[in-house]
Amino acid sequence: MNFEIPAEYAELQRGVTDFIDRELRPLEERELDPEKDEVPIDLRDRVRRRSAELGFYAADFPQDLGGSDLPQLGMVLLREAAARSGCRLAAFATYGPEGPTGVLLSATDEQKKRYLVPLVSAEKSMCFALTEPDAGSDAQNIKTTATKDGGDWILNGTKHFITNGKHADFALVFAANDRGKKAQGGITAFIVERDTPGFNVGRGQVGMLEGEGQFELVFEGCRVSEEQVLGGPEAVGMGFYAAMQFLAMGRLSIGAMCNGIADYCLSLGLQYAKDREAFGRPIGKNQYIQGHLVDSLIEIKASKLMTYECAAKYDGGDSVIQESSIVKVYATEMVNRVVDRMIQVHGGMGWMRELPLERIYRLVRILTLVEGTSEIQRYIIAKTMGL
């Protein structure tokens, strides 16, 4: 088994790192307030579009849609390198919830042309509207309804915790067309454009990171044509399978991001341990401090190998249900431990907003919740074990 990173992927990592150092760091210094968490939407869009121009943003999508056909192993390494930079704007150099989703590959040709192609080029953004106040982990029990009315569908219900909900050009909305069937043909995905009558953005929901956060989306008699069903009219009832496909690949992406963030935080802790002196010598000479650093390195290496294996299996056409859940639960819990340790290494300074660790600490806490909580991941893994 070859554990070497392929030369073309290593070159890709160097390319995105150079882009970040050459263009994004100066931009961040000029236009971001270091005392605030929020990144203005226009600045996000500028980064996304520039990254798309350079071929980084959605490189794993097909060439005929504007991507580069980059395998998932390459995309994982690209995301990892971006996160390792420690640059806040680098988060928008590879797509997140606002960018293209593999679910849209099941769209009709017309839907791909109208929605997916401009997502790949970062000319448009979207949001993924699945979660509801009474249906988070239990996604098949969503209350939002889709009722047939002639050749149209009428949507009614409320979504919440929707990232990019306020700014998205369209939402991918999951609604129950038959509550009795639930996941077995009872949930449909709809592409709903922002200015559709009956589709409104509700209140903002601010979390541990300040700024606009997530949003409620409210559908009241929202009429959409059957052509807005993801995949066309024949795909009615297939929405739950589409949602699960999105979540599985999202877990792999989050794992890659966690690995990069953990690398960055470890580098900060290691440098501080070498530079900071107490009692006449660098604190890195103390075994307690060494333990924090060594344990972090061990866990990061383990997480990377899990992530690379999952990506390679996916590229080989294998099912990665178990592997993606393992990556998600381990990588997200790992990065929380690593950031916590590095704050401890820095002592009181680690808690100060003068350093990035405090903000990262708040950032990574959500990662054990999104795309399926750690508890749900363990449930999925147990099922794959025959339990």
Q: Which residues are catalytic?
A: 371
List residues bridging with 149 in a β-sheet. 152
What's the one-letter identity of residue 161?
Answer: F
**232: CB partners within 8 A, 6+ apart:** 108, 111, 226
Token match 């070498």: residue?
Answer: 274
Rounded CA-CA distance 83/49 in Å is 18
Rounded CA-CA distance 56/23 in Å is 14
Rounded CA-CA distance 24/49 in Å is 12
Q: How many residues are present in the chain?
A: 387
DSSP string computed for 91-154: GGTS--TTS--GGGGGS-HHHIIIIIHHHHTTSS-EEEE--BTTBSS-GGG---EEEEETTEEE
Rounded CA-CA distance 258/252 in Å is 10
User: First-to-last CA distance in the chain?
Assistant: 31
Cβ(42)–Cβ(50) under 8 Å? no
- For 214, how many CA atoms within 13 A lie in the half-sphere containing its CB? 18
Rounded CA-CA distance 323/314 in Å is 9
Cβ(112)–Cβ(65) under 8 Å? yes
Residue 272, Cβ density class (10 Å: 0-12 exposed, 13-18 middle, ≥19 buried)? buried
Cβ(219)–Cβ(157) under 8 Å? yes
Cβ(162)–Cβ(136) under 8 Å? no
Rg of the chain taking only CA atoms, in angstroms: 21
Rounded CA-CA distance 377/250 in Å is 13
